[in-house]
Amino acid sequence: MALVTYGAGVVQMSGSVAGVVHARNRFGNYIRPRTKPVNPMSFRQTKARATLMLLAEQWHESPMTDPKRGAWITYANSINWLNRLGVGVKLTGFDHFCRSNAARMACALALISDGPTVLSLPETDNTVTVTGSQATQKITVTFNNTHDWASETGGALSIQMGCPQLATRTFFKGPFRWSGKILGVDASPPSSPQTIDPAFVLVKDQKVWCKVSIIRKDGRVSNYWSPAPFVCGA
């Protein structure tokens, strides 16, 4: 891996060019040889591919209509997105349709064909905390159940878990694996805290990072955010 400093001609690069990969981590820009990853064909990987294939087909079939696709396009044009270079871009309506419904399907929620009429991402909840126990093999999620998602059937709090790390580690960027969800209920929000099954075995004194997102019943999905990591208890 080679470190690189860009001049006036090229400010930033991301992706592969001519057999090398340009990327950036917390230490700066770097270049490394491009390698073709091994395809493990795991159950989760195969399921994720099948989900995206289904959604790509659904975009062109009933109950999708031109007005519904147009509503997703309008929604997409109202949302600013940061690409890998940190530059603001606009995703397509198809991108947001797949992003929203893939998150919903992971939580066993119904597919949404109507584009959202609220032209913004849901707000995140920075009060969420996550802990875990080796003895119970459960993750405990504490959250604010007065948020709108909690009081609507079809809303959810989606939780992903990273592979446990040494307790001395101070940063983690993934990969993450979907772990579970807390479902909203009309007029009867779930109590806090709630427990879910971990995506990885919990071992005492190992550190775990999680990612959380909010899903609204109209199909909108918030950005992921990371609560403070926890060190697994006994």
pLDDT of residue 53: 95
- Segments of the chain scoring below 70 in pLDDT: 1
pLDDT of residue 109: 95
pLDDT of residue 225: 94
Closest CA to 219 of 61, 55, 87, 81: 55
Distance, in Å, from the CA atom of 154 to the CA atom of 28, rounded to the nearest integer, reads: 41
Q: Which pLDDT tens digit goes with each residue over 66-98?
A: 999 999 999 999 999 887 777 888 999 999 999
pLDDT of residue 44: 85
pLDDT of residue 176: 94
Q: What is the DSSP string of 176-232?
A: EEEEEEEE--TTSPPPS-EEE--SS---TT-EE-EEEEEE-TTS-BPPPB-PPPEE-
Domains and CATH numbers, the chain: 2-33 (no CATH), 43-106 (no CATH), 129-231 (2.60.40)
Q: Are 170 and 116 in contact (CB under 8 A)?
A: no
pLDDT of residue 78: 95
pLDDT of residue 29: 80
pLDDT of residue 229: 97
